[in-house]
Amino acid sequence: MPDVGLLTPGADLAPGSPTAVTDDVAVLRAMLRAEAAWVRVVVRHRAAGPGSAPNPAPDPDVDPDSDADTDPGATAAEIDAVEIDAVVERLAGADDDALALATRLAHAGAAGGNPVIPLVAALREAVGPRLAPVVHAGLTSQDVLDTALVLVLRDAADGAVADLDRAAEAAARLATEHRDRPALARTLAQAAVPTTLGARFAGWLQGILAARAFLAAVSDALPLSYGGAAGELSGVLEVSDMAGLSGATQPSGGAGQSEGAGPLEGSRQSEGAGRSERAEQSGGAIRPEDVGWAERSGPSESARLSEEAGVSGSADGSRSADGAVSADGHGSARPAFDLVEAWGAELGLPVGPAPWHVTRTPVVRVSSALAETCVTLGKVANDVLQAVRPGVDELREPAAPGRGTSSAMAHKRNPVLSVLVRRSAIAAPHLAAQLLTAAALAVDERSDGAWHAEWPALQQLARHAVGSAHAAAELLEGLEVDAEAVARNLHEGLPDAGPVPDVGPALDVGAASDAEPAHDVGAASAVVDRVLRQYAEQTRQDA
């Protein structure tokens, strides 16, 4: 039976749950997206090769199971693109079919140590003899699985960033409304000095802004994984030679977009450039190129890389006349990089200058960003959990039918949103540590066990980040402030600090105090203003 997240409430895998983008069906569909995109790239370049002729429509006598439904005048590449996309839809378009296939692959994957091997066999069988030789040609399992996990992580990061934006907006509103409200500051669990409630909320906001900027930038820069058997691209070179590659590197319709885009690709096809632009504007501190492992690479980048390597090729991908022909006859490496660049554009992923099979910088960076999201929101949850305790009573979580109930104590209203956010904050560092340890143990050209240890940790860490961001957004949007309790705790904790101010209604969910604070709160209000200016600037840049 499938894992539905029974033991991770708030990060469950039920259909429609924000965290369902990280489940096994999502990983399966991402693997199929990667494989289908590679087939489209190869057949497109094969059709564009010198001396190529349009292929006829699939012959039902040769390929009776063909799913293609194409225009009679369609090109060979268009026919093949429709065919591979139809097969992918048939295999995993419906949730029940996808779950059944993922279950079979989970069992069959034990034989080879990863789920890609049985997936390729199933896909080749499904497409029939005409396209089967193209499926996975020149690739290795790590190319596909790493790329699929990158696609899943980007979907997860999109959801988390959207909820972090909600959380930041709510925290900014709280900081504004309570900018000058005196409150008791506590250090080492003891009453310390007067501050303002707005300053505490501004501290939350500052952390959320930093986590959001880091996660968005790292996610935008997550690169395609490529390299073939041992990172040397020999298989891709063979494919490019057979395809008669002519240097046409971009999918039809421009970079990152294809007429033959698969049914499971969603909106990924054209977002590569947009992601880079957004990340450059987020927070002003981190841009994709600053992250350091991948930049958006087009045809000119492929040519530059090949020229720097001393393996120049002619525009049509033929062997150069200057003697740059390798001992095994492959000749120029440019056609291989052209294929890889086109694959990245098809999936909306940047392409780094070299494979990262055992240079796990992308995994290290994204695990750090996901963990930072969890622990940053954990600070918010910790403060709320302290403030809702009986005797403190300064804050209340938003109410909702059935939320916070107890099976044994009907009178309780448990702060369940904060509890679940804190749960993820506690779990995340250990998952990130597992990923860092795996990166530290990377060896040779493919790691024996360290790579495999990454997969579940990445999936669980992404799940916690998405779930905690969603819960934190809901928590902050409905957080209630008991102004009377805030004033009382300040007076009781620091009786010599000043009189108890007139706070108006006992439960204040938004009214700000216009009067000057009666306590010496230092520059707390100015701190709030500085953070709010940062938030306004970041919001303006992201617009």
Confidence at residue 261, expressed as pLDDT on a 0 to 100 scale: 39
What rounded mean pLDDT belongs to the chain? 81
Confidence at residue 537, expressed as pLDDT on a 0 to 100 scale: 95
Lowest mean pLDDT among 92-101, 318-327, 349-358, 377-386: 318-327
Single pTM value for the model: 0.81
Question: Strands 480-481 and 182-187: what pairing?
Answer: unpaired
Confidence at residue 446, expressed as pLDDT on a 0 to 100 scale: 93
**pLDDT tens-digit readout, 204-222:** 999 999 999 999 999 999 9
Inform me whether the pLDDT recorded for 139 exceeds 60. yes
- Span 309-324, mean pLDDT? 38
Confidence at residue 295, expressed as pLDDT on a 0 to 100 scale: 41
Assign 98 a pLDDT band (cuts: 50, 70, 90): very high
Confidence at residue 274, expressed as pLDDT on a 0 to 100 scale: 47
Confidence at residue 418, expressed as pLDDT on a 0 to 100 scale: 97
In degrees rounded to 5, what are phi and psi of residue 416? -70, -35
CA distances, 344 to each of 3, 256, 273, 333, 386 (Å): 31, 8, 12, 17, 47
One of 1.20.200.10, 3.40.190.10, 3.30.565.10, 3.40.50.920 is the CATH number of 148-222+361-542, namely 1.20.200.10
Domain ranges of the chain: 18-137+232-267+294-347, 148-222+361-542
Distance of CA 123 to the CA centre of its chain: 26
Assign 71 a pLDDT band (cuts: 50, 70, 90): low
Instruction: Name the CA radius of gyration of the chain, rounded.
Output: 27
Is 334 in contact with 311 (CB distance < 8 Å)?
Answer: yes
**pLDDT tens-digit readout, 495-508:** 876 655 554 444 44
* Number of Cβ within a 10 Å radius of residue 39: 26
Inform me whether the pLDDT recorded for 407 exceeds 80. no
Cα distance between residue 20 and residue 229, in whole Å: 32
Pair of tokens at residue 363 = 């995994």
Inform me whether the pLDDT recorded for 254 exceeds 60. no
Inform me whether the pLDDT recorded for 288 exceeds 50. no
Helix, strand, or coil (residue 183): strand
Please list, in sequence order, all residues whose beta carbon lies within 8 angstroms of the beta carbon of residue 323, skipping any fewer than 6 positions away: none
Inform me whether the pLDDT recorded for 77 exceeds 90. no
Confidence at residue 410, expressed as pLDDT on a 0 to 100 scale: 55
Inform me whether the pLDDT recorded for 199 exceeds 50. yes
Pair of tokens at residue 4 = 């539905």
Q: Checking phi first, is residue 23 left (phi over 0); if not, alpha (psi -120 to 50) or beta?
A: beta
Cα distance between residue 316 and residue 319, in whole Å: 9
Inform me whether the pLDDT recorded for 85 exceeds 80. yes
Lowest mean pLDDT among 114-128, 191-205, 308-322: 308-322
Cα angle 1-28-95, degrees, rounded to a multiple of 5: 60
Q: Output 74 or 291, whichever has higher pLDDT.
A: 74
Cα distance between residue 48 and residue 41, in whole Å: 11
Hey, which residues are catalytic here? 406, 446
- Span 185-195, mean pLDDT? 93
- Span 22-37, mean pLDDT? 96
Pair of tokens at residue 503 = 């706070």
DSSP 505-543: SSSBSSPPP-SPPSS--TTHHHHHHHHHHHHHHHHHHH-
Secondary structure percentages of the chain, helix, strand, coil, to 5: 55, 5, 40
Q: Output 401 or 125, whichever has higher pLDDT.
A: 125
Inform me whether the pLDDT recorded for 74 exceeds 70. no
Please list, in sequence order, all residues whose beta carbon lies within 8 angstroms of the beta carbon of residue 497, skipping any fewer than 6 positions away: 193, 194, 490, 491, 519, 520
Confidence at residue 304, expressed as pLDDT on a 0 to 100 scale: 40
- Span 176-205, mean pLDDT? 96
In percent, the amount of the chain with pLDDT more than 70 equals 72
Confidence at residue 75, expressed as pLDDT on a 0 to 100 scale: 74
Confidence at residue 290, expressed as pLDDT on a 0 to 100 scale: 44
Strands (E), 444-528: 480-481
Inform me whether the pLDDT recorded for 62 exceeds 50. no
Pair of tokens at residue 223 = 């690169």
